[in-house]
Structure 1
Amino acid sequence: MRLDTRKLFAALLGRLASTYGVASVEQQFSIDPTVAQRLTDKIVEQATFLPKINVIQVDELKGQNILGYANAPVTGRTDTTQAGKERTPRNVVGLGSYGYELLQTNADVAMPYRLMDAWAKFADFMERYARYVQQRMGSDMELIGWYGTSASADTDPATYPLLQDVNKGWLQYLRDNLSGNVLSEGATPGEIRIGATGDWANLDVAVLDLQQGIPQYMRQGLVALIGSDLIAKEKSALYAAIGDKPTEKALVAAGMTTFGGLPWETPSNFPARGIVVTSYDNLSIYQQSGSWRRQVVDNPKKDQVEDYNCRNEGYVVETPEKMVALEFANVRLPDGAGGWE
């Protein structure tokens, strides 16, 4: 690390210590819950999908879901003129059926001296450092949310580069709690085919059909989350159908605002062949209040700065009945030669 960089880094350490109210951030410290919430907010801001869902502080490591959608209607009528008849309010918030469990989650970010030296050329050195750490953490939270299937005591990033073994994500939560809402196959065992001769001819039909798996009274605010491979194949089929007509090609892109009557998006880090129908507010990440630990280390043995973060975290589908999904690993698309890939 160059001398000018080291001076800036020393100032950064001082600023962090002041922010967290500690003597030094070079020794592990516990982050005050209020400050931890602000840090979480900054991480969420650096992501593209996280700002749309719930990131919530909770007190307990295990418990029942905090947010819930009514799992049945409440409107009716009671003839109170009859003996023994009285109005009985119904508790229909499905908080008793589904729970959460938070697990220790480490997010340790290394920044080589050469990267620190490059940042030193800019006036916003401290902001660049903070953004880098926050972006890495936010991106990982999205990856775990979509790909996480287990929580290993000793994670293996070489074997599971999409962080499948760090924690159970939203799709795994649905598999565990309401497996019938994760479609794993169509007419062909072990496969879901989307294409002209497949289980669904196109994305409109697929999304419309998946919506039927959600109770009618839960369909407010639904959105279709669709993988990039599926969007690319849909566009390709439409372009092939209209030929070389520039004006109509422009209309294709402009016209793809909904699928199956729902607004859609391809979230960052979302499975390329995935489809999920739910509402944004049905997806949550819980963090235990007071669990965040942090330490910043200058490690000359590796020519890098290391930012260690640890907190207890879990991924929750608030109301599983309000989410349906495809088993993205089983989705097959036309290969152009009459088969499926």
Structure 2
Amino acid sequence: MDNNTRLLFNKMCADMARTYGVNAVDKSFAATPSVEQTLMDKIVLSSDFLQRINVLGVDELKGEKILGSVSGLLGKRTDTSAGDRQTSDVANLDANGYECVKTEYDVHLGYALLDAWAKFPDFNDRFLTYVRRAIALSRIKVGFHGTEAAAVTNSGTNPNGEDVNVGWFEHLRNYNASAQLMSEGGTVGEIRLGGAGDYPNLDAMVYDVLQLVGEEHRDGGDLVAMMGRELLSFDKTQLYTAQGATPTEKERIETNAVTRTYGGLPSFTVPYMPARGLLITSWDNLSLYYQNGKVRQKIEDNAKRDRVEHYNTLNEAYVIEDLEKAGAVEFANVKIWDGSAFV
């Protein structure tokens, strides 16, 4: 790296060492609880999606869920002349707990990139924001695609982090797939959308998946439909077919001015949702736990590879607080009508 870049990099490392209370950052180091919380908060702030769900620190590697969901009837009346008023427990904490697994988020940045950043006054922020954003996006990808926590991962065969951790869809599969996760329609192993398939449109599919959510949760007003880009693209194609001949309507579609709900639920696209994925739940029913006091970092200048390496280790678990407050489709089984066949 250039001499000026070297000065800025060394200053950043010295500043971090002071913040974390260590002699140097080229050896593995932890943080005080308050500094660790600040670090986790900044990673969350780098992603709109992570800000919507729960990202919580837990003390134990394995244990009971923390939040659960609110369910049951609370309103009542009591004859206090005959007995005491009794409170009700409306927190639904199921027996499925959590287990954090060690996860490595290791990033390297080439000297050329650092030299480019050195021309700006916010070198430190650019470096750290880049790393935090990379961690945030990786967390989300694993959350939607993860199926297991392998002893040694292989990104070549599992490009979406399928072997990094057990994600949210997989928790539904393991819990009660037949009740919470739709895997097929009228054709074995397939869910057909469009044409003469199981669902003529996305509205019908969302409405049907909503019925997989526990009945007591369906009318709470907090459910949303998170869906993948190919499902939304199919719906947009239908809008073009129906309204594209009208210039004003076409313009509204192209500029995304059309705000739609599906099956009576507001819809959202989120990073790394499987392209044909559909998950109905509330934002606060999805959680990502990390173990307090186990966040480790190390920054190393690797001149042999012309790069700086930033190592990050966390113990993490993906959690659906109330599994019955969720419904989804098995995205690998979704087939979409392309005008001539289901593909």
Asked whether the equivalents of residues 43 and 137 of structure 1 are also in contact (C-alpha less than 8 Å), the reply is: yes
Letter in 1 for 2:173: R
Alpha-carbon distance, 1:285 to partner: 0.3
Q: 2:140: which partner in 1?
A: 142
Match of 1:178 in 2: 176
Aligned to 1:24: 24
Encode CA deviations 1:261-294: one digit per residue, 9 max, x unaligned.
1111110111110111100000000011101011
When the two chains are superposed, the root-mean-square deviation of aligned CA atoms in Å is 1.8
Query: 1:231 maps to what in 2?
Result: 232
Encode CA deviations 1:210-244: one digit per residue, 9 max, x unaligned: 22222343132011111100111111112112242
Supply the distance in 2 between the matched residues of 1:86 and 1:187 (Cα, whole angstroms). 54
When the two structures are superposed, what TM-score results if normalisation uses the length of structure 1?
0.94
Which residue number in structure 2 is paired with residue 36 of structure 1? 36
Paired residues of 1:178 and 1:321 also in contact (CA < 8 A): no
Answer yes or no: is the 8 Å Cα contact 2:182–2:209 preserved in 1. Answer: no
Paired position in structure 2 for 1:99: 97
The one-letter amino acid of 1:132's match is: Y
What is the match of residue 241 of structure 1? 242
Residue aligned with 2:328, SS: strand
Equivalent in the alignment of 1:165: 163
- Aligned pair 1:286/2:289, yes or no? yes
**Alpha-carbon deviations, 1:4-47, whole Å to 9, x = none?**
11111000101111111111111111122221111111111112
1:329 aligns with 2:323: no
Residue 51 of structure 2 aligns with which residue?
51
Alignment correspondent of 1:262: 265
Instruction: Give the alignment partner of residue 117 of structure 2, picking from 112, 119, 124.
Output: 119
More displaced, 292-301 or 250-259?
250-259
Instruction: Give, in angstroms, the shift of residue 256 of structure 1.
Output: 3.3
Q: Does 1:302 align with 2:302?
A: no
The reply on whether 1:222 has 2:248 as its aligned counterpart is: no
CA distance in 2, matches of 1:321, 1:115: 47
What CA deviation, in whole Å up to 9, does each residue of 1:177-222 have, x standing for no partner? 2322011111101001111311111111111222222234313201
Residue 225 of structure 2: SS of its match in structure 1? Answer: strand
Aligned-pair distance for 1:255? 3.3
> Is the contact made by 2:195 and 2:339 (CA closer than 8 Å) also made in structure 1?
no
Q: Which moved more, 1:236-245 or 1:118-127?
A: 236-245
SS of corresponding position for 1:97? coil
Question: Aligned pair count?
Answer: 338
CA contact (8 A) 2:302 2:308 kept: yes
C-alpha displacement at 1:89, in angstroms?
4.5
CA gap 1:257/1:243 in 2 versus in 1, 3 angstroms: closer
Segments of 5+ residues of structure 2 without an aligned counterpart are none
Give the 3-state SS of the residue equivalent to 2:105 in structure 1: strand
Structure 1: runs of 5+ lacking an equivalent: none
Q: Distance in 2 between matches of 1:78 and 1:5?
A: 72
Bigger shift: 284-293 or 64-73?
64-73
Q: Give yes or no for contact 1:73–1:217 (8 Å, CA) kept in 2.
A: no
Question: Is 1:275 the counterpart of 2:278 in the alignment?
Answer: yes
- 2:342 maps to which residue? 340
Mapped partners of 2:29, 2:161: distance in 1: 26
Residue 215 of structure 1 aligns with an amino acid whose one-letter code is: G
Q: For the Cα contact (< 8 Å) 2:295–2:314, is it kept in 1?
A: yes
C-alpha separation between the residues in 2 aligned to 1:42 and 1:73? 38
Q: Secondary structure at the match of 1:255?
A: coil
- Quick one: distance in 2 between partners of 1:11 and 1:225? 43
Asked whether the equivalents of residues 181 and 212 of structure 2 are also in contact (C-alpha less than 8 Å), the reply is: no
Amino acid at match of 1:268: P
Equivalent residue letter for 1:32 = T
Structure 1 contact 48–268 (Cα < 8 Å) conserved: no
Q: For residues 217 and 140 of structure 1, what CA distance do their matches in structure 2 show?
A: 33
Per the alignment, in what secondary structure is the counterpart of residue 30 of structure 1?
A: coil
**Could you say which residue in structure 2 is the equivalent of 1:151?**
149
